[in-house]
Amino acid sequence: MKGFYHKMEKNIKKREIFTEIFLIIIFFPIPSQILGYGVSLYLNEIFIVCFLLVLFYKRNYTINFTGTIKYLFAFLCLNFGGIIVAIVKGNTVNLNVFSGVFRIFLWVLLYNFFLNYLKKEISSLVEISRVLKKTLIIVLLLLLPFIAVELFDLPGKIILEKIYEMSKSGNIFQFYNRIVGPFRNPNFFGVWISIVLIYFLIERLDWKFKVFFLLECLIFIYFSGSRTAFVVSVFSIIFIIFTQNIVNFKISNLRIFLTLAIVFLIVFYLSSRYTDLFYSVRFQSNNLSDWYTLGGRDVLWNQYDELIKENMIIGNGLIKNIDIIFDNIYLQYIFYFGLPGLIILGLFLVKNFLFNLYLIFTNRSDIILLFCLGIQMIIIISGFTIQILDATQISVWYWFALAYIDYYKEKKDNKLSI
Tell me the one-letter amino acid at 301. W
pLDDT per position as a tens digit, 193-214: 999 999 998 888 888 888 899 8
Most confident of 67-71, 82-86, 145-149, 300-304: 67-71
- Among the listed ranges 85-89, 152-156, 169-173, which one has the minimum average pLDDT value? 169-173
What b-and-e string marks burial along 362-395, b requiring 16 or more CB atoms within 10 Å of the CB? Answer: eeeebbbbbbbbbbbbbbbbbbbbbbbbbbbbbb
pLDDT score recorded for residue 251: 62
pLDDT score recorded for residue 286: 52
Delimit the domains of the chain by residue range: 2-413
Question: What pLDDT, on a 0 to 100 scale, did the predictor assign at position 143?
Answer: 92
Task: Answer left, alpha or beta for residue 19, where phi above 0 means left and psi between -120 and 50 means alpha.
Answer: alpha
pLDDT digits (tens, 9 = 90+) for 318-346: 887 666 778 889 999 999 999 999 999 99
Enter the pTM of the model: 0.89
Q: What single string gives the DSSP state of each residue in 103-167?
A: HHHHHHHHHHHHHHHHHHT--SHHHHHHHHHHHHHHHHHHHHHHHHHHHTT-TTHHHHHHHS--T
* The pLDDT value given to residue 247: 64
> Taking 90 as the threshold, does the pLDDT of residue 414 lie above it?
no
Helix 207-224 to helix 125-151 angle, to the nearest 10 degrees? 50
The Cα–Cα gap between 223 and 283 comes to 9
Q: What is the mean pLDDT of the chain?
A: 83
Separation CA 69–CA 167 (nearest Å)? 36
382: confidence class by pLDDT, cuts 50, 70, 90: very high
Instruction: Judge contact between 344 and 75, C-beta under 8 A.
Output: yes
What CA–CA distances, in Å, run from 267 to 62, 270, 284, 299? 49, 5, 11, 30
